[in-house]
Structure 1
Amino acid sequence: MDKRLKKAAEEGDIDMLYALLAQDPYLLDRIDQIPIVETPLHVAACFGRTHFALEIATLKPSLALKLNHIGLSPMHLALRNGYIHTARGLITIDPALIRVKGRERITPLHYVAETEQVDLLAEFLSVCPGSIEDLTVRCETAVHVAVKNHKSRAVKVLVGWLQRVNKEEILNWKDEDGNSLAYCNIYKST
């Protein structure tokens, strides 16, 4: 990535972004041609530069789907670095970003279940209900992840949501070791 573009992303300098695009209108297109790449959107997400991230995601939405060299999308990076406002901004561009499968097929929903960010968990389920069906490489749902990591508040949110939307059958889904969530009666104690 162009050093000036990286610096603009780190600083959230939208004016510099447009100055660079005026010089080279295909700048973002060339980045988009690379399958696994750190984009200016990744950089902005790492630094919590929400406005810059939204500008890039608006100009080139496909960059929000890209994984970097360690298998993380911009949404994953925003969450990992604690920039919740940036993550929320990205879902206003495309709620399906909650379903982007990063390293080990972990989605942002899996991540917030593991870290027990219950407000964000409820918000993600609300704007992208299909994300509850996404599985990691270990065939784990977000509920499996929350149980495995002893995140009882996240489990309550997830199970309550499954009950409200009549999708309790997901509790019977088995991970790669054959464990379902119904086997431990987790939902009966929530």
Structure 2
Amino acid sequence: MVAMDTPLHIAARLGNTHIVKEILSRKPEYARNLNQDGYTPLHLASLLGHLEVVKELIHGVMDVCVLKDKYGRTPLYYATMMGRLEVMEELLDIYPEYIMEMNAARETSLNIAVLCNQYEAYKLLLERFLQANKVEFIDYKGSEGNTVLHLHLPTSRKQFQD
């Protein structure tokens, strides 16, 4: 069931760590709720880059990291899309397996970094893939049959032409 924003959604959106901490101490289940747009509070904090809120949410309710929104996207997806490197690192530190999660279009966070022109995020994720010895995911083909290299080439060619 999708509900309106809980107080935790609002506090996460605003980046109010003190209120987030207080709500989690009383209603930790709010961390798992999807709002009317299909986001958990962690999705919102990750998207907006509220690092301290992200820390409170993932340390308060450990399994919240793996929750997907109504589109099958994780908080890491949104942090990657926006280039929120510190948030990405925090999420990956607490849940290293996160790096292999795919969205509904069967794209990894590495694909998203390339698609969104987030090259610092791409470098961070590539390092994490190599550290995790998950090189096979670098060549993984998404739902349209593209690897990260396929996605990267058109952008690279344009950069060389300029």
* TM above 0.5: yes
Q: Which moved more, 1:101-110 or 1:45-54?
A: 45-54
Pick from 119, 124, 141 the counterpart of residue 174 of structure 1. Answer: 141
Distance of 1:96 and 1:160 partners within structure 2: 24
C-alpha deviation, 1:181, in angstroms = 2.1
CA RMSD of aligned residues (A): 2.0
Match status 1:123 vs 2:109? no
Q: Following superposition, which runs of at least 4 residues in structure 1 exceed 6 angstroms of deviation? A: none
Pick from 68, 72, 76 the counterpart of residue 35 of structure 2. Answer: 68
In structure 1, runs of 5+ residues without a counterpart are 1-34
Give the direction of change, closer, same or farther, for the CA distance of 1:117–1:82 in structure 2 (3 Å limit). closer
AA aligned to 1:50 is: T
* SS of alignment partner, residue 111 of structure 2: helix
* SS of alignment partner, residue 104 of structure 1: coil
Give the direction of change, closer, same or farther, for the CA distance of 1:83–1:123 in structure 2 (3 Å limit). closer
Q: TM-score, normalised by structure 1?
A: 0.72
Larger Rg: 1
Partner of 2:100: 133
AA aligned to 1:44 is: A
In structure 2, runs of 5+ residues without a counterpart are 154-162
AA aligned to 2:130 is: Q
C-alpha deviation, 1:160, in angstroms = 0.6
* SS of alignment partner, residue 146 of structure 1: helix
C-alpha deviation, 1:108, in angstroms = 0.9
| Deviations 1:62-103 (CA, angstroms, capped at 9, x unpaired) | 211111011111112223344322122211213432222113
Distance of 1:130 and 1:36 partners within structure 2: 27
Contact 1:133 1:170 in 2 (8 A): yes
Number of matched residues? 152
Q: Which moved more, 1:84-93 or 1:54-63?
A: 54-63
Give the direction of change, closer, same or farther, for the CA distance of 1:53–1:149 in structure 2 (3 Å limit). same
Distance of 1:76 and 1:136 partners within structure 2: 14
